[in-house]
A and B are shown apart, each in its own frame.
Chain A
């Protein structure tokens, strides 16, 4: 593992960025145990490739008017998949709009994801991880939810943890600080993962904060912060796994800054060429996580061309089937917007629902 601190004297940085795999996929030193498990590594790789394939398909659907505005996770797959792969089924995930890989790894189906991004609430009624939170859009506002859920686990003496992912931009918000602060005071089983992709729409990391790293923001609230190479799936999985263990067993929260890069536009309605150079993006393509893991798999586990091709075929079929199921899903009845407003519809609202249902209900 690489623990050197480049320019430490100049920046005063005390923690190195944690990394097991170099951008070319070669290992730096001793690897965590799971990295020698071929099946497990292939599964991690599969989820990352699936995530990217889902991403491409989502953009294609959006471009052809069959999906709403969509936020690509291109280049960030190792953070999302690596973090979620470290979770146990009964932990809970609180994701943002860019963590499709984490949701997929948790068992949210591609059809459900397409439904959500296609504008249907049923996409957040996951059949798989029933207690995971839906995608959070008001930046950072879900971070306190993770603390609340983690407090519930602690009060009930359940060995579970809440894992909350958010972006670098989110760390500028009060919600982030307020939630981190109280997690420190209460010592709740919560892991905060920053997917630092260097950009918040058009605002670069340097304009977001003068803080040397985002991980050190934990120091002020007494929470350990670590910086990990977010394009190294092995490192993300290992660091998040350790943090989750500390959370479940010692109720110790932690902050993890996964350093990655947003290779795509912010969303399908964004044009990143307005504010960042292609040269910068090109440089980061050399560090992207999927090629890195594939190189590692090939060198360490003899991942073959045939296996790669079979995987791509299998994933193409899975994504196509999900698109088909999504496109075949009928819209909800209009009156469904009232169906889950409250546990049961207050009589005072019956009239409005009836109007929508085309029945004579008068005014509510």
Chain B
């Protein structure tokens, strides 16, 4: 067992998937000799060759579209979009093709592809490199949306995504790429998709989040515990399809819920979870469901970035507020 970064864990999962199944191939910009700009595909070209570790021309719609064609022809492409900010041209392929190929052919053609993209802020990246636009993707029926929050979950969820028979968008929080490290066992075992992970149990408040915000959320839970408020922390992990059961179960116990995400507040995925709680868990609530989110502002350049990102302080304040009810 080794202590790995998320980048190393993702690399391990890709290598494992490619070794296990010769229909798996990776493609994208600079993913071959260079190993990807974040090194997620480092060394794969030496092990599996340039046919299966395939540098592409610079064209995102094409990368996604070619992946649809490969997947319809029984391959399992894992495409990398270099940054989420450059994923938008590929959305046409996701909405109009990948997500509906099975439906529109009644299962005759399928689309077992994975589209990976680093996303999120907090690493002082240039303009267009820091947004969190996951809610746009969560709106697409027929598409799975998975976001890991630790090296071990990245390993297990990426394996699951690759083995799944349907398209998965796999967003990697790049703020977690190099730290923290975690023990990752190359067991070849996938983690379940469509299931949130309960990372901490507490009876006072339920904190729901995903991706890099787990870091601040767990820190806030720690600080609050010292002050006597015990939090359950849930990592949603698969945003679409959204399995509410563990969230409803926890909020049924705590009566209080704070949802945290880096993405802008309005139309953010937190709104969906809040609406489900209002619909299915209202009678158990002791306080309003609250969101701590990025502002409805254009993601600022690095100098103001830290003021945009939800902080531990903002989470603690939100929890204190919901604790003040009842």
Contact = CB atoms under 8 A, between A and B. Distances in A.
A281 to B, nearest CB: 32
Interface of A: 92, 121-122, 124-126, 130-131, 133-134, 137-138, 141-153, 155, 162, 174-175, 178-179, 181-182, 185, 337, 339-343, 346-349, 362-363
Nearest to A154: B51
B141 A340 contact: no
A220 to B, nearest CB: 13
B250 to A, nearest CB: 16
Given A342-B142, A348-B241, A148 B72 contact: yes
A134 B66 contact: no
Interface in B15-58: 25, 51-52, 56-57
Given A145-B72, A181-B57, A339-B107, 5 more contacts: A131-B109, A138-B96, A150-B69, A152-B75, A348-B244
Contacts of A126: 108
Contact of A148 (B51, B77, B110): B77
Given A145-B65, A346-B241, A124 B70 contact: no
Nearest to A186: B54
A46 B14 CA distance: 51
Contact of B243 (A146, A178, A347): A347
B77 to A, nearest CB: 7
B92 A182 contact: no
B142 A178 contact: no
A134 B68 CA distance: 13
A341 B101 CA distance: 9
Contacts of B93: 141, 144
A194 to B, nearest CB: 18
Contacts of B280: 362-363
Contact of B279 (A342, A343, A363): A363
B73 A153 contact: yes
A38 B144 CA distance: 53
Contacts of B68: 144-145, 148
Nearest to B99: A341
B104 interface: yes
Contacts of B25: 155
10 contacts: A92-B73, A124-B105, A144-B62, A150-B69, A153-B73, A175-B65, A181-B62, A182-B59, A340-B102, A363-B280
Contacts of A146: 69
Contact of A144 (B69, B73, B243): B69
Interface of B: 25, 51-52, 56-57, 59, 61-62, 64-75, 77, 89, 92-93, 96-97, 102-110, 141-142, 144, 164-166, 194, 241-244, 276, 279-280
B59 A181 contact: yes
Given A125-B105, A340-B107, A182 B72 contact: no
Contact of B57 (A92, A143, A178): A178
Given A343-B110, A346-B194, A144 B104 contact: no
Given A174-B61, A182-B62, A124 B108 contact: yes
Contacts of A141: 61, 65, 92-93, 96-97
A342 B166 contact: yes
Contacts of A130: 108
Looking at B62, B68, B110, B276, which has the most chain A CB atoms within 10 Å of its CB?
Answer: B62
Contacts of A174: 59, 61, 89
A337 B102 CA distance: 11
A134 B103 contact: no
A193 B120 CA distance: 41
